[in-house]
Amino acid sequence: MDSTASKHSRNISRSSRPRSSTKGPLDDPNYPPNAKGTYRIQSTANVVSYTGTSFTELDPLAPDDLPQTLGKDLSFLLRYDVYHSLSQVDIPHALRSEFVGLTSEESLSSCLSTLERLLAEGHFLLAAYLSATILTSSLLSSTNVKVIFSLFYTRLACLELSGNTIIAAQESKALEDLSSTFYYVDQVSEGPDTENERKQPSYPRHIVPWPLRVLAVRLQSIGFGDPRRGIGGLYEIGLEARREIMRPDLTSAERSVWKERLSDLGIRCVNALIEMGDLSAARRSLQTLGSDDTHKLRKALLLLLIGDIDTAKQISDGPGGTSIFKPLLSMAEGRYDDAVAEWQALLENSPKETDAAMISQNMAVCLLYTGRLNEARETLESLVRGGQSFGSLIFNLSTVYELCSDKSGQLKAGLVDLVAKEPATGHTNLDRSNADFKL
C-alpha cells in the first residue's frame, strides 16, 4: 500500500470509447421472467448458464483492450486484512445457506460463474463472502485490473444490499484517494488529425470502473465519518462528467452515457443532502435537476418529507402530475380513510404488477392507521403468498403481527418459513436478517 500512496496526487479523468453491449456483474441478461412476472431458478442444464464474463464488463465505457500490463499493482486490494469476516448468526435458520468456498481444483472462471449464480439468485451475503475469498486467493494476478475492481465492487455492493453498509464503508477505505495519479493512464484519442498531420491529443483515463467510483464516494464518506466528503466527491466526478460531455471527439453514444451519469450524480447529491439532514439544501438542489415527470414526483416526495404540503399540492395539480400524488397527499394530511379508497382505486387500474405490490402495501399501511388490522394483515399476507415480498413489506407485516396477536413470535416464525419457500428472483436479498422480521 505504501508504494501506491506515494504516487497519489490530483489529476483529471478521461474515458474512452463505449463497448457495444455490456452488463455488470449484478445484472443477469439471461434471466427470462415466467408468465407471472417473477423469476425462477432452473438448473444449469436447462436455460441459465453462467460464464463469469460479466466480471470483465462492469463499465460500459471501459475499452475492450484494457491490458493487464498497465504497471498498476493492485495487491493492496488482495490482502486478507482488508476484508471483514462475515457471519449468518443474525439470519433466521430457515433462510441460511452455506457459504461457498474454494477448492484446489477450481479455476478462476468457474469461481466467477458460481458468483454470477449467487448474484442471480439474490444471495448477496454469500456473494460478498465469495468475492472476498476469490480476491484473497492465488487465482488472481495483482495486475488483473478489470476482474479485481469488478470483484471489489461486487463485494461492496453486496455488503450494502445485505445490510452491512458499515463493513462496506470500512473496506472501501482500502482504495484510498481515487483522484490520485495512480489510478490514471494516458489515453490517446483514436485516429490521426489528417488536416494538421499530427496525432490526436492524449487524455488521462481512470482505470477504476465508474460504478465502483460512485459507490466508493458514498461509502468512504461513511467510513471516514465525514458527510461533506461525499458531497465533495460527487461534485468532483460530476465535473469530470461535464468535461467528458464537452469533448469534441466523443461519439453520440459516449456523450449519451456521460449525460446519464451526470443526471444520476445530481440525484445522488440530493440523496446525500437528505441523509445529512439538510432538507433545505436538498430541495434547492432538486429544483435544478429537471422538470420531467420523474423529477416532479421526487420533488413532491421531498416536499412531503419536509412538510411543505401546499407546494406539493401545486406540483401535483400542475402538468405532469402522477396518479399517486392524491393518496400520498391524503396520507400527509392524516386522511387515511380517503387514502385507502384512493389506493384501492389505483390498484384496480394499475397495469403493472410491480406498481400493484407497492400500492397494496401503502394501502395496508393506511388500513393499519385506521385500525383495520385484519384487513391490513390480509393484504400484506396475500403479497407474501404471491411471492412479492420485499424488505419494508416484511417489516410492516411483522409489525401488524405484534399489534394483532399475543403469539406474534410464532406468526413471525411462520412468515420466515413462507419467505424461505419463495422462488429466487435476484431482485431481493434472500439472506434476510432477524431485524427484517423484528425477531
For the chain of 439 residues, list the mean pLDDT of each consecutive stretch of 10.
45 38 40 34 47 78 58 89 94 91 86 91 93 93 90 95 94 93 72 46 79 95 90 92 87 90 90 89 84 77 84 72 80 92 86 75 94 93 87 92 89 91 79 89
Boundary residue ending a domain (263, 287, 319): 319
53 in the same domain as 173: yes
315 in the same domain as 328: no
Q: What is the C-alpha R_g of the chain?
A: 24
The residue type found at 393 is L
pLDDT, residue 348, reads 84
149 in the same domain as 98: yes
Q: Is there a domain that residue 39 lies in? A: no
Q: Is there a domain that residue 188 lies in? A: no
Q: Is there a domain that residue 106 lies in? A: yes
Q: What is the 3-state secondary structure (H, E, C) of 128-189?
A: HHHHHHHHCCCCCCCCCHHHHHHHHHHHHHHHHHCCCHHHHHHHHHHHCCCCEHHHEEEEEC
Residues 220, 237: Cα–Cα separation, whole Å: 14
Q: Is there a domain that residue 172 lies in? A: yes
Q: Which residue range is the domain that position 279 belongs to?
A: 226-319
pLDDT, residue 353, reads 56
374 in the same domain as 279: no
Boundary residue ending a domain (116, 150, 177): 177
Label residue 243 exposed, middle or buried (CB < 10 Å: 0-12, 13-18, 19+).
middle
Q: Where are the beta strands (DSSP E) in 198-326?
A: 198-199, 202-206
Residues 25, 58: Cα–Cα separation, whole Å: 6
Cell of 298: 421526487
381 in the same domain as 347: yes
Boundary residue ending a domain (286, 319, 352): 319
Task: Map residue 203 onto helix, strand or coil.
Answer: strand
Reference 361, options 327, 412, 397; nearest CA is: 397
Residues 9, 4: Cα–Cα separation, whole Å: 11
CATH number at 394 reads 1.25.40.10
160 in the same domain as 73: yes
Number of domains in the chain: 3
pLDDT, residue 321, reads 52
Reference 358, options 320, 401, 393; nearest CA is: 393
291-299 contacts: CB < 8 A, separation 24 or more? 291/320, 292/320, 293/320, 293/322, 296/320, 296/321, 296/322, 297/322, 297/324, 297/325, 298/267, 298/270
